[in-house]
Chains A and B, each alone.
Chain A
Amino acid sequence: MSGTTVLDVEHLRVTFATEDGPVLAVKDMSFAVAPGEILALVGESGCGKTITAMSIPGLLPAGGVARSGTVRLAGRELTSLAERDLESLRGKDISVVFQEPMTSLNPAYTVGKQIVEVIRRHQSLSRGQALDRAVELLTLVGIPDARRRCASFPHQLSGGMRQRVMIAMAVACDPKVLIADEPTTALDVTIQAGVLEVIRTLCRTLDTAVLLITHDLGVVAEVADRVVVMYAGRPVEQASVHSLFAEPQHPYTMGLMDALPANALRSRSRRLTEIPGLVPAPVDDPDECQFAPRCPRATERCRTERPLLRQVDDRPDDHLVACHHPGREASRD
């Protein structure tokens, strides 16, 4: 598998030193993304998905952060790189699209100028060539009349347009990996589909590996190829999108799916189901299933032995789950 992957994350662990002691934001994350593949990282707020993603290009907040494990980009180890080397990597080999399109563009310059700046930061093109490339990129992300749009300031564009510009900037240098951190959360539902379509098209045509961070299972179903479900800093289930939605194995994944409003309409009570309880505070890492306190199937074993990611008998090879009692049948009680 590692022969075809471009981004390999293994045993990533991120700890923040705070006044109240260490916070274990990411405890043990491993995953890989192949070129032209969209891997979705799903989980609720605070489960560590953004921290996982931001630690790849070294964008964690400075001070008190300890990171261990390996992050390899096309075989090159990133965790040991100096800040200066990371700077030349960012925007070129790894790009990030953030959640907030409304505030993520520099209000002082036109969008054309900003794209030109990113291009010229990493490629030796003349200003004119870079501008042509910017127009090309804006057309690629579906902005009509791109040449004139280059002269627009960010405040003249709508949120969806700005997010398209952000994506154009992110893919300006043909990155190997595109990290999209909740790229559609701040957008209207009607705009979301268009932006997701752009990401998917770019991923396929440019052969970019996309790491899509989201808490929206609808978005996952729409664009992702594979999914990693995260809980409390660890992966709990990993599968192709079809396998995951067809036969979710982990009780947490099932809980997330039951909580979808569409499923509530189908249920007898017509009431939105929720997962009881709260995410555990990320202060310690006992040898147990961290989901056990909220899990309807938890047994004594769950409280004394941490389940490891493993394959389940009747599922495809790439469907992994970290649970002592996986499968659909038991949740129907």
Chain B
Amino acid sequence: MSVVAAPMPLASVRRGIRLRRRFLRRPLAILGLVLVVLFLVLAIVGPFVTPNPLAQDLTTTFASPSAHHLLGTDDLGRDELARLASGARVSLVAGVLSTALAMLVGVPIGLASGYFKGWLDPVIMRLNDTVLAFPFLIFAVGFAAIFGASLRNVVIALSIGLLPTIVRVSRGEALVLREQDFVGGAVADGARPAAIMFRYLLPNAFNALMVQATVGIPNGIIGEAVLSFLGLGVQPPGASWGLMLTSAQQFLTQAPQLAIYPGAMIALATLGFNLLGDGLRDVLDPRDHR
């Protein structure tokens, strides 16, 4: 239509390409992404294509891998791969839900603390320190003792454990951002505090919170495994990587693979999320532009 040179490409597009290029330059980040994707596939698709993880077959206990049971069976003749897939789904739920819950509660608290300051900030931060002062396991054991052992309570306990970190990070971001000129400008344009927190502070704190999420999810996975291992999480006959480790203990000499499989899964899944998180932090950090 026009004879003028083509419009300058939108920098948001260029930014996307630039970020992808920076990401692809980091082999460890790619490895992390691959591990996370494999984990997601196992957790989301796995349970649909594997046998019933609860179906016992006492005639084929401790079976070796075969076409029928790709990773063999456990002490009760249950399909090991099916149980790993089912455990992956539990891990995913625990990791993602606990992080999401902690964010949902912690981010507004942290932003308000950092934005309003005044008397609110020290009150919130001291309460935060109080939560932080409880060793996570002791807190979780007490929580399970009072409210019962279930996946739901594991998620709640995990999110409470993660909460102080989220509050502190969002408060720190708010403290920095509230001094920016564009926040002062918003105040001068008549923006109310809620609008400032969610439309000016939150979008600009996105990168930092994104990195926190990728740290929170593997912590949730490990936490769920630990609590289930101790009998405070998923209950038998349900499948969870932690629970599978517990039942594998008695047969460690007889069938070490029953402990190795879930252990390796925990290690690989958390490694994947951590590598991905490190990579994202490098890619998204505006101070590290090369």
User: B1-38 interface mask toward A, CB cutoff 8 Å, 1 = contact, 0 = none?
Assistant: 00000011011100000000000000000000000000
Option from A88, A121, A151 in Cβ contact (under 8 Å) with B10: A151
B48 at interface, CB cutoff 8 A: no
B250 at interface, CB cutoff 8 A: no
Chain B: which residue is nearest A102 at the CB level?
B181
Option from A88, A156, A170 in Cβ contact (under 8 Å) with B11: A156
**Is chain B's binding surface mostly helix, strand, loop or mixed?**
helix
Q: Would B181 and A103 count as touching, CB distance under 8 A?
A: yes
Q: Would A153 and B11 count as touching, CB distance under 8 A?
A: yes
Q: Would A122 and B204 count as touching, CB distance under 8 A?
A: no
Q: Would A95 and B182 count as touching, CB distance under 8 A?
A: no
A294 at interface, CB cutoff 8 A: no
Chain A: which residue is nearest B187 at the CB level?
A59
B185 neighbours in A (Cβ, 8 Å): 96, 98, 104-105, 166, 169
Interface centre among B11, B181, B185, B206 (most CB of A within 10 A): B185
A166 neighbours in B (Cβ, 8 Å): 185
Shortest C-beta distance, B177 to chain A (Å), equals 10
Q: Would A95 and B189 count as touching, CB distance under 8 A?
A: yes
Restricting to B132-175, which residues have a CB under 8 Å from any CB of A?
A: none
A122 neighbours in B (Cβ, 8 Å): 190
User: B193-228 interface mask toward A, CB cutoff 8 Å, 1 = contact, 0 = none?
Assistant: 001000110011010000000000000000000000
Question: Contacts A104-B182, A105-B182 hold; do A121 and B191 have CB atoms under 8 A apart?
Answer: yes
Once the chains are docked, how many angstroms separate the CA of A105 from the CA of B203?
Answer: 13
Once the chains are docked, how many angstroms separate the CA of A100 from the CA of B200?
Answer: 17
B265 at interface, CB cutoff 8 A: no
Q: Would B11 and A100 count as touching, CB distance under 8 A?
A: no
Chain A: which residue is nearest B184 at the CB level?
A98
Residue positions of A touching B, CB distance < 8 A: 57, 59, 62, 87-92, 95-96, 98, 100, 103-109, 117-118, 121-122, 148, 151-153, 155-156, 166, 169-170
3 closest A-B pairs by beta carbon, nearest first, are A91-B189, A108-B203, A91-B190
CB-defined A-B contacts under 8 Å, sample of 12: A59-B184, A62-B118, A87-B192, A95-B188, A95-B189, A105-B182, A106-B200, A108-B206, A117-B199, A121-B189, A151-B10, A152-B10
